[in-house]
Chains A and B, each alone.
Chain A
Amino acid sequence: MGRKILLDKAHVPGIRSYDVYRREGGYRSVEKALRTMSPDAVVEEVKKSGLRGRGGAGFPTGMKWSFLAKPEGIPRYLVVNADESEPGTFKDRYLMEFLPHLLIEGIITSCFALGSKVSYIYIRGEYAWIVSILEHAIEEARHNGWLGTNILGTGFDCEIYVQRGAGAYICGEETALLESLEGKRGNPRIKPPFPAVKGLWDSPTVVNNVETIAAVVPIINEGGDEYAKIGVGKSTGTKLISACGNINKPGVFEIDMTISVEEFIYSDEYCGGIPGGKKLKACIPGGSSVPILPANLLLKTAKGDTRIMNYESLSDGGFATGSMMGSGGFIVLDEDQCVVKNTYTLARFYRHESCGQCSPCREGTGWMERILLNIDQGKGKMSDIDLLWDIQSKIEGNTICPLGDAAAWPVAAAIRHFRDEFEWHILHPDECTKRNYGLAHYADPIHIPA
């Protein structure tokens, strides 16, 4: 049912090579943009498309592009964020690995729109093998006249460089990424100034996610209005979801944002249900930093509406009863999973990845991790639960970059929705260490589509 506009060619044999990609209609958007459109017209199409950033925050891309400062005589940069280190998120990896030319095509078209002659792909260090795939594709594109000087005889110049990170999640935060790209320690910058005014080497810079830039290709090919017709409301176009956890078919799926969460989990087209006929307990729908939801709130909103896989519906109810689309890392927990252990694992991650600049995040993440470890190991106290709540509330909103929030939200949501599971752990210190799960009663019986 779902329409595919990004991954439709992913399984064409040899699509990774330039010749096949071109034969399948690749690089048309570059031809169209450079030959028939002005840079502003490209920006206009992206605005019309309603495309929202796919890196996590969901900021409208066209608007971001129009904020780019354009002072005379100063270069501008497009930086592609391929750091993808959020636990549960692995969609950019798939896109770059199978369709490297799609990203390159998107970069060239976007650079034309932004007036950027140089673009950098900042890629997660662990994606080492993808660096050579991308570099090979860049070489092919250059060889065929899509990169370099005077592209298509239009006078437009463009170069792309790939820079590997060194394995820090924080370098996915856009300003930390810029610092790292400049060869410095990857500490997030204090904003303002925003990258659109002072970014890479103090020049105006746009930072976009891999998927965002790839989506520019169908937008220019089909037109912004056509793109906007896919999806609903402010969730236009298609979204890549990387699904993992207790599901039959983990992987990367392209969805149009009209399907329900229930369909996404249980339909054979997507996750294919939960193995062993187990019940759904909870889900983290948008990558490890977004709030976890228990099954009942995941499938239906607090108002009783069916929850849909899109920006508005997933955040319906705010943090009290909703979550977020985030970066599209969909993590499913079945009835046997322990929310306390899961929360501890996430807290450990954030503690390890905090850059350590601001005191609430640096000290608070470590503190939360230790308390959660105690509870997980049956050494917790009842007062620890309120203490955890208080610590996360003192981190949230009080830090330089959103990593502090990202560390606070999972803890807050786990306590908000699964408080009695924490209490059960504390009251049953022996039992909770013997078996690896908490309370199953959150997995309310739900209707499974035929």
Chain B
Amino acid sequence: MSEQQLFKVTIDNITVEVAPGTTILNAARQIGGEVTPPAMCYYSKLKDSGGKCRTCLVEVSKGSEKDPRPMPKLVASCRTTVMDGMEVKNITSPRVIDARAGVVEFLLINHPLDCPICDQAGECHLQDLGYEHGKEETRYEFQRRSFHKVDLGEYIQLHMTRCILCYRCVYTADQLTDSREHGVLDRGDHAQIATMIQKNLKNDFIGNVIDVCPVGALTDKTFRFKNRVWFTKPMDAHRDCSKCCGEVQLWMRGDEVYRVTARKDEWGEVKESSKGSTGWICNDCRFDKKHASDWIIEGPTNVSRHSVISANHYQKLEQPKETVTEVMNGIEPRLFMNIHDVSEVNQQHVQLSLIDGPATGKVFNKNAD
């Protein structure tokens, strides 16, 4: 086979060469970092996904070498393929930043923002999106849309109120299982994910809808409310499984396995297995194998994502190159200040639990005399 000609595409002034047919989003992922548009609905492992959430909109300032005209509208980078010589603006385009902030606002106006009681908190893509691309305040003043919680069978719960209608779970159910029993009912802002007449989802691979869901709309009933993700340690583990690749992540606390999920890559997508097959895992591995003894544990997962999970010390630690002594021009480090002398809050005679109302400086000064 003759060598395939590559297309040059420039995104935010960084040029990469990619195979024809590559989308702008995937080209940007090759560059990585901030240049990569956020993607809430696209999922590279799911055919036909993408195009819906509009968070990945970018500006094409030059169509191609042959036809340099800019594209008049912003385009969904996840569904637009690159042309040779194309120039794309993502974070260098004020139009994109503005439109994206608009999309984030739209996604949030009907979202319950119940993160404190949501199992997805800490690994939720909507939290990341809002933090990275949204505005601090909402201008929405109406009652938010809400739905009743529904059990989709024994293992999965649907909180439709949190759903952003990315359709990932629909494609997953369609493409990984052989019966079509999970889809969207109604339309517009009253559309909802539903199973056929609330039928249980029984298929062996249906648990994967939990992994693809970017928010806390589909949660694992065997894990619900048992722990917060940032208290658990993700460990890579595997077992011999006749149904799937058997390569998983165990979310452990001590010796206890709280949750089993598929392994994810840096974009939050289920990774290929080490044998090159798909990384989707079966319901047995996910819901039934909850003992450390069921698994061969390989070691802690490298968490490189910017989520709170990485605060759990699982990133490879790097020794700082300079010591404090060096930074301070040879002065030996000692306590910079004695916190007990400086802070009023730490004065032992104040019993915080007995204060009426919020603790303010006044309380402490009054008691300090």
Residues of A within 8 A of B225 (CB): none
A364–B187 Cα gap in the complex (Å)? Answer: 14
Evaluate contact between B57 and A398: CB separation under 8 angstroms: yes
Evaluate contact between A365 and B99: CB separation under 8 angstroms: no
Interface membership of B195, Cβ < 8 A:
no
Evaluate contact between B187 and A170: CB separation under 8 angstroms: yes
A364–B188 Cα gap in the complex (Å)? Answer: 10
A366–B103 Cα gap in the complex (Å)? Answer: 14
Given contacts A360-B102, A360-B106, A394-B99, is CB(A352)–CB(B188) below 8 Å?
yes
A394–B134 Cα gap in the complex (Å)? Answer: 14
Evaluate contact between A365 and B107: CB separation under 8 angstroms: no
Residues of B within 8 A of A185 (CB): 183-184
Evaluate contact between B54 and A358: CB separation under 8 angstroms: yes
Evaluate contact between A357 and B52: CB separation under 8 angstroms: yes
Interface membership of B74, Cβ < 8 A:
yes
Interface membership of B164, Cβ < 8 A:
yes
Evaluate contact between B54 and A366: CB separation under 8 angstroms: no
Evaluate contact between B142 and A358: CB separation under 8 angstroms: no
Evaluate contact between B51 and A356: CB separation under 8 angstroms: no
Whole-angstrom distance between the Cβ of A364 and the nearest chain B Cβ: 6
A400–B139 Cα gap in the complex (Å)? Answer: 24
Q: Given known contacts A359-B106, A394-B98, A398-B73, what 9 new A-B pairs fall within 8 Å (CB)? A: A356-B184, A356-B190, A359-B53, A359-B54, A362-B189, A366-B110, A367-B106, A398-B74, A400-B51
A170–B186 Cα gap in the complex (Å)? Answer: 12
Residues of A within 8 A of B139 (CB): 387
Residues of B within 8 A of A359 (CB): 52-55, 103, 106-107, 164-165
Interface of A toward B, CB cutoff 8 Å: 168, 170, 185, 190, 351-360, 362-367, 370, 387, 390, 394, 397-400
Given contacts A190-B51, A352-B188, is CB(A364)–CB(B106) below 8 Å?
yes
Of the A-B pairs whose beta carbons lie under 8 Å apart in the complex, a sample of 15, sorted by A's number, is A354-B187, A355-B188, A356-B186, A356-B188, A357-B52, A358-B54, A359-B106, A362-B188, A362-B191, A363-B109, A363-B110, A367-B106, A394-B99, A394-B105, A398-B73
Interface of B toward A, CB cutoff 8 Å: 50-55, 57, 73-74, 76, 79, 98-99, 102-103, 105-107, 109-110, 139-140, 142, 164-165, 167, 183-184, 186-191
Whole-angstrom distance between the Cβ of A187 and the nearest chain B Cβ: 8
A359–B50 Cα gap in the complex (Å)? Answer: 12
Closest chain A residue to B184, Cβ basis: A185
Most chain B CB within a 10 A radius of its CB, from A360, A363, A366, A397:
A363
CB contact between A400 and one of B52, B98, B183 (< 8 Å): that residue: B52
Evaluate contact between B106 and A394: CB separation under 8 angstroms: yes
Residues of B within 8 A of A394 (CB): 98-99, 102-103, 105-106
A359–B56 Cα gap in the complex (Å)? Answer: 12
Whole-angstrom distance between the Cβ of A412 and the nearest chain B Cβ: 15
A398–B106 Cα gap in the complex (Å)? Answer: 12
A104–B246 Cα gap in the complex (Å)? Answer: 59
CB contact between A351 and one of B55, B76, B110, B188 (< 8 Å): that residue: B188
Residues of A within 8 A of B140 (CB): 367
Residues of B within 8 A of A357 (CB): 51-52, 165, 167
Given contacts A394-B99, A397-B73, A398-B57, is CB(A356)–CB(B191) below 8 Å?
yes
Closest chain B residue to A393, Cβ basis: B102
Closest chain B residue to A399, Cβ basis: B54
Closest chain A residue to B50, Cβ basis: A190
Evaluate contact between B102 and A356: CB separation under 8 angstroms: no
CB contact between B106 and one of A351, A363, A387 (< 8 Å): that residue: A363
Residues of A within 8 A of B167 (CB): 357
Closest chain B residue to A394, Cβ basis: B102
Residues of B within 8 A of A356 (CB): 165, 184, 186-191
Residues of A within 8 A of B190 (CB): 356
Evaluate contact between A168 and B187: CB separation under 8 angstroms: yes
Whole-angstrom distance between the Cβ of B181 and the nearest chain A Cβ: 14
A400–B80 Cα gap in the complex (Å)? Answer: 12
A394–B142 Cα gap in the complex (Å)? Answer: 19
Closest chain A residue to B40, Cβ basis: A359
A387–B315 Cα gap in the complex (Å)? Answer: 43
Residues of A within 8 A of B53 (CB): 358-359
Evaluate contact between A355 and B54: CB separation under 8 angstroms: no
A363–B53 Cα gap in the complex (Å)? Answer: 11
Residues of A within 8 A of B76 (CB): 190, 400
Evaluate contact between A365 and B52: CB separation under 8 angstroms: no
CB contact between A358 and one of B52, B109, B184 (< 8 Å): that residue: B52
Residues of A within 8 A of B183 (CB): 185
Whole-angstrom distance between the Cβ of B281 and the nearest chain A Cβ: 29
Whole-angstrom distance between the Cβ of B172 and the nearest chain A Cβ: 17
Closest chain B residue to A361, Cβ basis: B188
Evaluate contact between B74 and A363: CB separation under 8 angstroms: no
Residues of B within 8 A of A358 (CB): 51-54
Whole-angstrom distance between the Cβ of B44 and the nearest chain A Cβ: 16
Whole-angstrom distance between the Cβ of A63 and the nearest chain B Cβ: 18
Evaluate contact between A398 and B79: CB separation under 8 angstroms: no
Residues of A within 8 A of B51 (CB): 190, 357-358, 400
A240–B338 Cα gap in the complex (Å)? Answer: 86
A190–B76 Cα gap in the complex (Å)? Answer: 10
A399–B53 Cα gap in the complex (Å)? Answer: 9
Closest chain A residue to B110, Cβ basis: A363
Most chain A CB within a 10 A radius of its CB, from B50, B55, B110:
B110
A354–B106 Cα gap in the complex (Å)? Answer: 14
Residues of A within 8 A of B105 (CB): 394
Given contacts A190-B51, A363-B107, is CB(A355)–CB(B189) below 8 Å?
no
Evaluate contact between A363 and B57: CB separation under 8 angstroms: no
Given contacts A356-B165, A360-B103, A363-B106, is CB(A397)–CB(B74) below 8 Å?
yes
